[in-house]
Structure 1
Amino acid sequence: MENCTVQGLDNRWALFPQATAERDLLADPLTLSHMHSYQRNIENFIGTVKVPVGLAGPLRVNGTHASGDYYIPLATSEAALVASYSRGANLISLAGGCTAVLLNEGVSRAPAFAFTTLASASEFALWTINNVERLQQIVESTTRHGKFSDLRITIEGNHVYLGIEILPGDASGQNMVTIAAEAACRFILLNCPIKPAYFFVEGNLSGDKKASALSFLSVRGKKVSAEVVLPAPLLARVLKSTPAAIVDYWRMSAMGGVLSGTIGVQGHYANGLAALYIACGQDAACVSESAVGVTRFELTGNGDLYAAVTLPNLIVGSVGGGTGLPSQQACLRLMGLAGPGKARALAEVCAGVALAGELSIIGALSAGDFTRAHQRLARGDRHEPH
């Protein structure tokens, strides 16, 4: 293969004979020195794109798996984003940190089988249920780390969807479950007496790369909740707002989400998750499902603010995929979350980051500072508009 080789690189850049400056930027000496590292992650390699990385924090997380103060690397070209998340993280830390709990985990693939009649589809589904232990063995034979966790069956007319779910260990698990599902399908085709007219390894019922109603019914990746109680004086000092104003804004924005048909109730999970995913070698496209969730703000009995987020679809891993790339692994190491045994902690940190972002943006909106912050940081305008 001539993918990540000097010869392959030269052949591709020969398509752009006048692009010397562009080649120098994309295929700089540091990129070339790490070229072998990209072999399994890219095709038709021509270089790397440099995205600015900022540090937010510290974010104190008191989780079941993540515990301590974390400085969060965020890769973004959006001005004000890192400042906003850093403000929210500091607010949480000043309050003693957020509690974070991993509630559930599992990643699925949904093979789909077509039959001529509903009766055949039902017989097929029954056979599958009766052979679930054998399917478990087949699934687990394809991976050293993944464990079969569930089989969900959906019948729609003469179509059957099998929701094959595994526990992926420290990987995000998408490739793992795809390979496992393919093996399960081959076993079914060879052994089931009810033969489908055709099948596909994914029938678009797994929720992969999209927000869906499934988000709150089960889990895709890791489901995490995080909470914090913020004293009113601390909110006044850091956010220049009050618990009552924040709850008022949250209530109105939640209704706005209902009116617009939003799945979930949240302000901007996608901002922080996308920046964190890119920095840390996660699948950035999975932000489409990871950014689904619920933010809730309430007044406590003594007038403080209770804040919580629940994210049911955090597709993250500390091994595999892009986590082994040089810059991305460096970002994971900065948080102490690189390598085996760290994926669950990474998910809890992601929930803490989402909570920090919600507090900061809703605090700014409730205090009337949202536009001023963007004018100051995005446009470099140090003066208030007249």
Structure 2
Amino acid sequence: MPKLNLSQTAEYPIWDAQHTPRYAPDHKDLPPSATTNLAMIEKRWQALSSSVDKRILLDTQTEQTHGLYKRNIEHFIGTVKVPVGIAGPLRINGTHAQGDFRVPLATTEAALVASYARGSKIMTAAGGANAMLINEGVTRTPVFSFENVSQAGQFVAWAVTQYEHFKQLAHSTTQHGQLKDINVHIEGNRTYLVFEYLTGDASGQNMVTFATNAIFEYIVSQSPIVICSAYLDGNLSGDKKANSHTMRSVRGKKVVADITLPADFISRYLHTSVDEMVEFGQMTTTGALMSGGIGVNAHYANALSALYIACGQDAACVAESAIGITRIEKTAKGQLYACVTLPNLMVGTVGGGTELPSQKACLDILGLAGSGKAKALAEVAASLCLAGELSIVGAFCAGHFSKAHRKLARR
């Protein structure tokens, strides 16, 4: 078979000098410093395009509070403003979240806040959502390789005897974290250790990393079995990736929320019927299965990304947090029962970005800033997702989904 000359095909551009590597230094390289002092910020702006007005990103308030960002970002040049709207009141009868919550949502997508406001309205009118945090734990999963499976098994036999010492090492790195459990997975000559922690009111990714690293270094230096190679994380935790494992367990906080709505509420607020919403749920569950989706939900990611950005959470965790199950059924009395199960809510009310000015203000609006509030925030997040599921399913059933986006996005 003759070789294909890509330069002679219409589908591919001819390879020429513009694709040749260039090694000339960039004389406008940004100063490689993690500091946020004003002098360094000015140097970075001098290296950027002069066509950009720096006051857009480095406004007066940001300039005055620049020191607050030093633990959250490197190569700092300013802040980006994202519109924030309020959904609610959202009434929640939770194990930890009790009351009516005004929920700040940061987004650039028109119709999103309106949808969650509508879902919140119907749920509040019906007495509120029930919400229950049923499990919590954050994992880090180091991996170790050996010459063969026999040695991997011997390593496990030793490692399980070290649990109490592992706990002491983990606790030496944190005042708030606690090693909760260890699970073992052997794959051929490799062993994955799953360390699971309680992280208090912090989301906890850094906390579990530091704690596990202390244990990891002890294992590498003290293992009686020769370790061929080892890495702090073997990608089994599901950190910032959609994964099916947590559907049966937990990563972060696992929350269930549900509500029962009278049939007349469905027609009055959502302009559809119980039967239509149940049928829609059945059809879209089939669609989710055919698409290979993990869990079944309409748009948890919308609620969680907007809430996470507004309230200083790690937005990348939406990749794992936005999995779960939405279920809609008709009760024996002809009412609509709806529930959501989210096993992967990575939320915190201390640490990370929660203490930055705008983000803390949003947590203050919720009444959930500071210690002792993370479990309540998780129940708010799940209830918000439930509100969004009811609203979007109602919109599709009533034929209003496209109309609402056209009206609100193109006004």
Q: What band does the TM-score fall into relative to the shorter chain? A: over 0.9
Native 8 Å contact 1:235 1:241 kept in 2: yes
Number of residue pairs the alignment of both structures matches: 379
**Paired letter, 1:376:** K
Instruction: Measure, in 2, the Cα distance between the counterparts of 1:191 and 1:200.
Output: 15
Deviation at 1:138, TM superposition (A): 1.2
Q: Does 1:229 align with 2:229?
A: no
Q: Does 1:53 align with 2:74?
A: no
Moved over 6 A (4+): none
Decide which moves more: 135-144 or 315-324.
Answer: 135-144
Match of 1:245 among 254, 262, 276: 276
Structure 1 counterpart SS, 2:354: helix
Q: Which digits, 9 at most, give the CA deviation of each residue in 1:43-68, with x for residues without a partner?
A: 00010000000000110010000000
Native 8 Å contact 1:146 1:167 kept in 2: yes
Pick the structure with greater CA Rg: 2
User: Any residues of structure 2 matched to 1:19-30 within 5 Å, and which?
Assistant: 19-21=51-53, 23-30=54-61
CA RMSD for the aligned pairs? 0.9
Structure 1 counterpart SS, 2:102: strand
**Paired letter, 1:220:** R
Match of 1:113 among 136, 144, 147: 144
Q: What residue number does 1:197 align with?
A: 228
Q: CA 1:2–1:248 in 2, change beyond 3 Å: closer, same or farther?
A: closer
Instruction: Measure, in 2, the Cα distance between the counterparts of 1:229 and 1:294.
Output: 17
Deviation at 1:190, TM superposition (A): 2.3
Native 8 Å contact 2:296 2:326 kept in 1: yes
**Paired letter, 1:138:** L
Match of 1:186 among 186, 192, 217: 217
Q: Does 1:12 align with 2:54?
A: no
Native 8 Å contact 2:102 2:366 kept in 1: yes
Q: What residue number does 2:29 align with?
A: none
Instruction: Measure, in 2, the Cα distance between the counterparts of 1:17 and 1:69.
Output: 47
Deviation at 1:16, TM superposition (A): 2.6
> How much identity, in percent, do the aligned residues show?
54
Q: Which digits, 9 at most, give the CA deviation of each residue in 1:200-243, with x for residues without a partner?
A: 00000000011112121211000000000001111111100111
Q: Report the TM-score when normalising by structure 1.
A: 0.97
Q: What residue number does 2:371 align with?
A: 340
Instruction: Measure, in 2, the Cα distance between the counterparts of 1:9 and 1:131.
Output: 48
Match of 2:69 among 35, 38, 48: 38
Deviation at 1:17, TM superposition (A): 5.4
Instruction: Measure, in 2, the Cα distance between the counterparts of 1:16 and 1:157.
Output: 51
Instruction: Measure, in 2, the Cα distance between the counterparts of 1:163 and 1:215.
Output: 13
Native 8 Å contact 1:161 1:203 kept in 2: yes
Native 8 Å contact 2:34 2:76 kept in 1: no
Structure 1 counterpart SS, 2:296: coil
Deviation at 1:142, TM superposition (A): 1.2
Q: What residue number does 1:161 align with?
A: 192
Q: Report the TM-score when normalising by structure 2.
A: 0.91
**Paired letter, 2:38:** V
**Paired letter, 1:15:** A
Q: What residue number does 1:3 align with?
A: 35
Instruction: Measure, in 2, the Cα distance between the counterparts of 1:231 and 1:285.
Output: 37
